[in-house]
Amino acid sequence: MNTVSVLLPVAVDRAYTYSVPDGMELAPGDVVVVPLGPRNMLGVVWDGQPDDVPQDKLRPVEAKLDGAIGADMRRFVDWIADYTLSVPGTVLRMVLRVPEAFGPERPVSAVRLAGPPPERMTSARARVLDVVGDGLSWNRSALAQAAGVGTSVINGLVDAGTLEIVWLPAAPVVPAPDPGFAPPVLSLDQAAAAARLRESVAADTFSVTLIEGVTGAGKTEVYFEAVAEALGRGRQVLVLVPEISLTTQFLDRFEARFGARPAEWHSGITSRLRERTWRGVANGDIRAVAGARSALFLPFAEPGLIVVDEEHDPAYKQEDGVIYSARDMAVVRGMIGAFPVMLSSATPSIESRANAERGRYAHVVLPDRFGGSLPDIKAIDMRVDGPERGRFLSPVLIKAVEETIAGGEQALLFLNRRGYAPLTLCRRCGFRFECPNCSAWLVEHRFRRELCCHHCGHTIRRPDRCPNCDAEDSLVPCGPGVERIAEEAAATFADARILMLSSDLVGSIAELRNRFAMVERGEVDLVIGTQLVAKGHNFPHLALVGVIDADIGLATADPRAAERTFQLLQQVTGRAGRHRDGGRGLIQTFDPDHPVMRAIVSGDREAFYAREMEQRERQRLPPFGRLAAIVVSGRNQQEAVGHSRALARVVPAAEGVRVLGPAEAPLAVVRGRHRYRFLVQTSRAFELQSWLRQWLAAAPKPRGGVRVSVDVDPVSFL
């Protein structure tokens, strides 16, 4: 009996064995339909010997589908599962997100002229006939647009027999990019950097390069040369961009350089486009993709380069399901596929910086801005120059904004906090609005007249009376969110055109993209935004950036708090003055002597990196040591504590590992689940994964509502 091993996209810890019906030929990578329990599901023929399963237990493969998962992708799946301690099936699930792509390709319908004119002629019908008089097949909505009619007019002509429906193969998702379309004139530094990147691509083997350049250095322009080299060699390219769905700027720049947009891959694209993109990437029609982290699981036929833009961005970490870092897994993908990977940032992570300094990564540096100088940055000491009570904009900042707007330029006020106020309390009885499911305050969103939990989404209408003491008009907001800053700004800068950019204020992606474009075109004077605005945008008219509360991220238990704050402040102030000299940054802080503030104001990034690197090394934190977090959660505290203690009792003894905890998590309750954390700290060379496996295997199986999640290389410590 012929059998195969089939991996299914479900949370079981091994591949299952199936029998192969007579006449069916199967090889590893083939996509098949197999029975599992009462239903059928998609699976992939996996490598390795099938288990010995008694004849009578064996069920046959139902069908073999089109398409296959290549050997590199299968290795990638196994690699990630092994590294993150996930079940391979849950990793495979990320690869099989587009099951339709394995069926026959659906043609698209079009119409063309086929019969005599209709008996009843109208001017709308005449316009349609005018357009289709060219004899070509027209997509219905394109035809409607060209003729200036609704699609019902076209359908009427089909019913009348004047037009007929024809089926055509789907058009390509995007035209092919042309590496020679519009090469830029590079500065000397840029040209030298680009030459090194091109060499790495030409070497046609695995390498990692860190591209580090100040904000506005032209890193994009430079890595586009590497993209051009890879395309010219007939290879496909993937550029990972955080928040790719939010702006079309990257796509436009790509098009300006290569004459065509890359295909997009993120949660905002339609399922039909998703299917066509998957197929295009697999059959090689699509040469370049710009995507979010999930694009790593696309089946590139001839991958030749991955660029990770803004490589320091915490958004590259996926925090649920399979917990992985897309930046790190991009490097793994390059290693498996033997092609180069490039990480780009103005503020690289300490991890990547250390790898570059130690020679594990090549280091390409762009020390100056292209066509301009870096902004001049000053701290505003809020202890001395703070605003009047109940306000958040200091007089110095207000004056600077006024000057900027009067000079016909744009200003940006940045606060990394959504909503109106992070806490609402009753002035009379002290009652605080808390989430019933999470250990968190409810955040007021005034425009929506709601109080809302940012962890579980629990939302209530903002009441007029205190729910505790029934006092009227006694509820007061504490602290600012962006909405409150916008309110203060509207009162302070009465004539300014003000625009707010915060993810929860804007309904659709299209609208958000539109708002970014308005800022780009200079149609607003003052932008108020959350960290959305700090990410890689190029706003040509922006001259001043004011940071409302620079200290926000420093007082946390996160070992990367200083690094993160440095990155965020450097990035957001780096949006100022990109197209002319004289950009300014003003940072409101209660701690101007903090090393992060000093580094930002003096512009001495090397001092910051050196100090941070030295501290990490001393404390054996990544990349000088390794970390893993174990989070035990339960439906009640008892359950969570019970299992944490059971785990604590069986920690395997080993040299070079330290286990902290269990401790109640800083976010002790989320969505009604009580959470306890362990932090595992080891030396660099320690075999972390096998030790973790040994530990988890020694513990009792989680029972009841207990869940244990493993986070290797944690980014969040909440």
Ligand X SMILES: Nc1ncnc2c1ncn2[C@@H]1O[C@H](COP(=O)(O)OP(=O)(O)OP(=O)(O)O)[C@@H](O)[C@H]1O
80 neighbors 322 (Cβ within 8 angstroms) = yes
DSSP code at position 390: T
Interaction of residue 458 with Zn ion, rule CB under 5 A: yes
Establish whether 452 is an annotated binding residue.
no
Q: Which of 219, 235, 266, 674 binds ligand X (CB under 6 A)?
A: 219
Interaction of residue 718 with Zn ion, rule CB under 5 A: no
Instruction: In whole angstroms, give the CA distance from residue 332 to residue 296.
Output: 10
336 neighbors 79 (Cβ within 8 angstroms) = yes
From residue 289 to residue 328, the character string flagging contacts with ligand X as x (rule: CB under 6 A) and all else as - is ----------------------------------------
Name which of ligand X, Zn ion, none residue 458 binds, using a CB cut-off of 5 to 8 Å depending on partner kind: Zn ion
Of 140-148, 277-285, 452-460, 503-511: span binding Zn ion (CB under 5 A): 452-460
Listed residue (418, 378, 401) closest to 573, CA to CA: 378
Interaction of residue 17 with ligand X, rule CB under 6 A: no
DSSP notation for 538-567: --TTEEEEEES-TTTTTSSS-TTHHHHHHH
User: Tokens 């069986």 belong to which residue?
Assistant: 650
Q: Which of 213, 299, 623, 625 binds ligand X (CB under 6 A)?
A: 213
User: Tokens 């890359």 belong to which residue?
Assistant: 262
Q: Which of 158, 186, 202, 613 binds ligand X (CB under 6 A)?
A: 186
Listed residue (398, 376, 404) closest to 574, CA to CA: 376
Q: Which positions ≥6 away from 627 have C-beta within 8 Å?
A: 621, 679, 680, 681, 682, 713, 714
- Going by their DSSP bridges, the two strands 423-426 and 207-213 should be labelled as unpaired
Interaction of residue 190 with ligand X, rule CB under 6 A: yes
Q: Which is nearer to Zn ion, 100 or 434 (CB)?
A: 434
DSSP code at position 463: P
Q: Which is nearer to Zn ion, 415 or 435 (CB)?
A: 435
Q: Which two tokens stand for residue 241?
A: 């961009």
Establish whether 453 is an annotated binding residue.
yes
Q: Which of 215, 277, 318, 424 binds ligand X (CB under 6 A)?
A: 215
Listed residue (42, 29, 20) closest to 68, CA to CA: 29
Interaction of residue 583 with ligand X, rule CB under 6 A: no
Dihedral angle over CA of 151, 156, 161, 166, nearest 10: 20
Q: Which two tokens stand for residue 37?
A: 């329990």
Q: Which of 80, 94, 131, 217 binds ligand X (CB under 6 A)?
A: 217
Query: CB 211 → ligand X: shortest distance, Å?
Result: 9
Of 46-54, 103-111, 186-194, 486-494: span binding ligand X (CB under 6 A): 186-194
Q: Which is nearer to ligand X, 94 or 366 (CB)?
A: 366
Listed residue (608, 557, 683, 624) closest to 351, CA to CA: 624
Q: Which is nearer to Zn ion, 437 or 683 (CB)?
A: 437
Of 215-223, 386-394, 545-553, 621-629: span binding ligand X (CB under 6 A): 215-223
Of 36-44, 49-57, 211-219, 708-716: span binding ligand X (CB under 6 A): 211-219
* Closest CB to ligand X: residue number: 218
Map the footprint of Zn ion across residues 228-287, applying CB under 5 A.
none
Interaction of residue 586 with Zn ion, rule CB under 5 A: no
Map the footprint of Zn ion across residues 420-449, applying CB under 5 A.
435, 437-438
Q: Which positions ≥6 away from 326 have C-beta within 8 Å?
A: 240, 292, 293, 296, 308, 316, 317, 318
Query: CB 184 → ligand X: shortest distance, Å?
Result: 4
Name which of Zn ion, ligand X, none residue 456 binds, using a CB cut-off of 5 to 8 Å depending on partner kind: Zn ion
Name which of Zn ion, ligand X, none residue 453 binds, using a CB cut-off of 5 to 8 Å depending on partner kind: Zn ion
Name which of ligand X, Zn ion, none residue 438 binds, using a CB cut-off of 5 to 8 Å depending on partner kind: Zn ion
Name which of ligand X, Zn ion, none residue 221 binds, using a CB cut-off of 5 to 8 Å depending on partner kind: ligand X
Output phi, psi for 508, to 5 deg.
Answer: -120, 160
Instruction: In whole angstroms, give the CA distance from residue 614 to residue 618.
Output: 6
Interaction of residue 644 with ligand X, rule CB under 6 A: no
Interaction of residue 14 with Zn ion, rule CB under 5 A: no
Instruction: In whole angstroms, give the CA distance from residue 546 to residue 238.
Output: 34
Of 95-103, 181-189, 298-306, 551-559: span binding ligand X (CB under 6 A): 181-189
- Using DSSP's 3-state secondary structure scheme, residue 584 falls into strand
Establish whether 438 is an annotated binding residue.
yes
Establish whether 435 is an annotated binding residue.
yes
Name which of Zn ion, ligand X, none residue 634 binds, using a CB cut-off of 5 to 8 Å depending on partner kind: none
Half-sphere exposure of residue 688, counting CA atoms within 13 Å on the CB side? 23
Name which of Zn ion, ligand X, none residue 217 binds, using a CB cut-off of 5 to 8 Å depending on partner kind: ligand X
Q: Which is nearer to Zn ion, 139 or 437 (CB)?
A: 437
Count residues contacting Zn ion (CB under 5 A)?
7
- Using DSSP's 3-state secondary structure scheme, residue 263 falls into strand
Interaction of residue 262 with ligand X, rule CB under 6 A: no
Q: Which of 124, 263, 453, 499 binds Zn ion (CB under 5 A)?
A: 453
Listed residue (530, 602, 619) closest to 566, CA to CA: 602
Of 185-193, 404-412, 463-471, 597-605: span binding ligand X (CB under 6 A): 185-193
From residue 366 to residue 395, the character string flagging contacts with ligand X as x (rule: CB under 6 A) and all else as - is ----x-------------------------
Instruction: In whole angstroms, give the CA distance from residue 567 to residue 47.
Output: 43
Map the footprint of ligand X across residues 220-249, applying CB under 6 A.
220-221
User: Tokens 């860190």 belong to which residue?
Assistant: 210
Distance of CA 632 to the CA centre of its chain: 26
DSSP code at position 481: -
Instruction: In whole angstroms, give the CA distance from residue 254 to residue 131.
Output: 33
219 neighbors 189 (Cβ within 8 angstroms) = no
Count residues contacting ligand X (CB under 6 A)?
19
Q: Which is nearer to ligand X, 243 or 275 (CB)?
A: 243
Instruction: In whole angstroms, give the CA distance from residue 424 to residue 453.
Output: 12
* 3-state DSSP helix/strand/coil % of the chain, to nearest 5: 35, 25, 40
Query: CB 226 → Zn ion: shortest distance, Å?
Result: 44
Interaction of residue 637 with Zn ion, rule CB under 5 A: no
Establish whether 478 is an annotated binding residue.
no
Interaction of residue 216 with ligand X, rule CB under 6 A: yes
681 neighbors 660 (Cβ within 8 angstroms) = yes
98 neighbors 278 (Cβ within 8 angstroms) = yes
Name the H helices within 182-308.
188-202, 219-232, 249-258, 271-283
Q: Which residues bind ligand X (CB under 6 A)?
A: 184-187, 190, 213, 215-221, 346, 370, 536, 538, 574, 578
Q: Which residues bind Zn ion (CB under 5 A)?
A: 435, 437-438, 453, 455-456, 458
Q: Which residues are known binding-site members?
A: 426, 429, 435, 438, 453, 456, 466, 469
Q: Which residues are known binding-site members for Zn(2+)?
A: 426, 429, 435, 438, 453, 456, 466, 469
